[in-house]
Chains A and B, each alone.
Chain A
Amino acid sequence: MVLVTPAIAMVTLFVLFPLGFAVYISLTNWPLIGSYHFVGGSNYSALVHDPQFIHSVLFTLLYTAIVTGPIFLVGYAMALLVRAGRFGAVFFRTAFFLPFIVGLATESFMALLELQPDSGAADYVLSHLGLVHANTAWTVSYGLALTAICVFVTWFASGLTMMLLMAGMQGIPAELYEAAEVDGASWWQKEWRVTLPLLRRNIALALIISVIGSFLAFNQFYILTEGGPGTSTQPVVMWIYEEAFVQYHLGYATAGAIALVIVIGIISAAQFYLLRDRDDRRTAR
């Protein structure tokens, strides 16, 4: 009991208490300094009518809808490439995963230079391919910024999907493939009938982790566009940050944060439900 106390204390102090405190703050008009009073649910009703907040929610959903597919498909393809552990697979796996390890903040600073008009590598490569003008400024227009960030994040995050899927693929017993081969199954049939059904749990996990990551997007937008032009590329976490620590509307910002906690909580609960279900069936106690 004594052994687990420090862990429990820290989680209580810095996760559970702040969570309860957040609910309390969200019911007040808390400023950064000075006194506050209760405003009931008015922060929440204001959220629903706040075009800025609604825009950040819709933008986050749009961004998530765009990047989830490419991250999954690229990750899946790379998992297929490395799963059998052929010559070179460890090197490939390391290379594919490295962008994820280095982190989005550091790489956003690198990308900032490469997305500049005239000097960036993006313009250099794409203009030589005849796709864009050499002076395209990627970070200052809504469509271009969103496109660039989606490509950039796919490059960053698909390695994680690869890892999660690879672990699942390697857990599939080789006998199943051998049996399918004896039955004369083609490569496609084996993938479709053996790999995919047995990989469902890992696919669900990879997709959920990817979606949660997209919902919590901040670094790439803050560093590359600062939410701009205007607030057109402002995801929800940046809305919370700006509302709380730039506008000093702590109560209002926290109401938005509670909404985010609820959405993430629902996704996580779905994850536990989906994954536990299959686990129980398999172990069949």
Chain B
Amino acid sequence: MTAAPRASYAPPAARGPRPADGPAAPAGRRRDLGRGGFVLYLTGGIIAALVFLLPLAWAVLRSFMPDALVTQAPSAKDFSHLTTANYSGLINTNDILRYAGNSLLVAVGTGLLTAVIATMAGYGFARFRFRGSGVVFALVLVTMMIPFQALLTPLFLELHSLGLTNNLAGLALFYTTFNLPFGVFVMRNTFLQIPWELSEAAAVDGASATRTLVSVLRPLVVPGIATTVLYAFLFSWTEFVGALTFITSNNLYTLPLALLNMEYGSVGQVNFGYLEAGAVIAMIPCVLLYVGLQRFYIRGLVSGVVKG
């Protein structure tokens, strides 16, 4: 790279980005990065972060622009005419709250159901060896490789005959099923890591069964459950083609379907201001959940995918 910025940063030791070295970091490979290298790293990182964040931030800004400006080329006046008209319009004329409610209902239902069933199965697979348990567990894992996108026709006919199409509970059941293999895998790993001798020792010491369960299991099991719920919720919240196939009546639309309806269902021009505001509403829970519960998400990625 160019030597100029490096040279100008290196000599004055008084004010470089010194404090940055402060926070805890593994000693390992950090040392070989000089101050110039660190500045380069920080600059590269910030530019890359902007590439990934700016489009999302821009969408948020767009959603606060009046309709007349949304459909014009971006300009400086975009920043001085901000309004919540798109949001209030969506709420009043588009019933967006109902769709957000549908999405929330399905996502929470999927999350809870997946957590309950996966926890039971994970415990069963981790603690008990019954005849054929290895084969059954392998079978559950193999279903992870079957893409639901390829099963839309048989699933549609099956759910239809069970009265589960155009049914939010049916959609949640569908989502739960395709989140189960991952959830069972994560929960089995969770229960396998628990030192059961510890709980037995606690029981011998006279601790009540409930107390044992709570004090020994909670710190180990809760992260596993959080991981399972988080994945199931986000999957359900963002899923599109399954909802498109199984839900056709307007009042049961989830958010992505409501947005699609704004794109194709409207007569004449698409109201881009509404569409953008709706997309921002769909985005917010994902961002909040991920930023808040990141460690559980990454835990799942590492234990569930990388080792699986």
Contact = CB atoms under 8 A, between A and B. Distances in A.
Given A7-B120, A11-B180, A81-B48, A134 B256 contact: no
Nearest to A178: B28
Residue from A109, A119, A216, A260 having most chain B Cβ neighbours under 10 A: A109
Interface residues of B, number: 100
A95 B49 contact: yes
A147 B177 CA distance: 35
A81 B41 contact: yes
Interface in B67-92: 70-74
A30 B156 CA distance: 13
Interface stretch (B2-10, B93-101, B211-219, B271-279): B271-279
A87 B20 contact: yes
Contacts of B143: 11, 15-16
B151 A15 contact: yes
A109 B259 contact: yes
Contacts of B49: 91-92, 95-96
Interface string A9-22: 01101111111011
Interface residues on A, range: 35 or more
B51 A155 contact: yes
Contact of B290 (A2, A98, A118): A98
What secondary structure prevails in chain A residues at the interface with B? Answer: helix
A6 B21 CA distance: 52
B308 to A, nearest CB: 8
A119 B272 CA distance: 11
Nearest to B125: A4
A7 B117 contact: yes
Interface in A241-275: 241, 244-245, 250, 253-254, 257-258, 260-261, 264-265, 268-269
Interface in B269-308: 270, 272, 275-276, 278-279, 282-283, 286-287, 290-291, 294, 297-298, 301-302, 305-306
A260 B256 contact: no
B73 A118 contact: yes
Contact of A102 (B56, B156, B301): B56
A18 B154 contact: yes
B28 A84 contact: yes
A14 B155 contact: yes
B301 A106 contact: no
B305 A21 contact: no
Nearest to B116: A6
Nearest to B298: A163
A84 B37 CA distance: 13
Interface string B23-34: 101101110110
Contacts of B25: 84-87
A17 B180 contact: no
A6 B120 contact: yes
A76 to B, nearest CB: 13
B263 A21 contact: no
Contact of A105 (B33, B74, B121, B256): B256
Interface of A: 1-4, 6-8, 10-11, 13-19, 21-22, 25, 78, 81-82, 84-89, 91-92, 94-99, 101-107, 109-110, 112-114, 116, 118-119, 121, 123-124, 134, 155, 159, 163-164, 167-168, 174, 177, 181, 187, 202, 205, 209, 212, 216, 218-219, 222-223, 226, 237, 240-241, 244-245, 250, 253-254, 257-258, 260-261, 264-265, 268-269
7 contacts: A4-B124, A11-B180, A96-B52, A106-B286, A124-B74, A240-B152, A260-B147
Given A3-B123, A18-B151, A245-B156, 16 more contacts: A2-B124, A3-B120, A14-B174, A15-B178, A92-B48, A97-B290, A98-B56, A106-B256, A113-B272, A164-B301, A174-B26, A205-B305, A222-B240, A250-B153, A260-B150, A264-B150
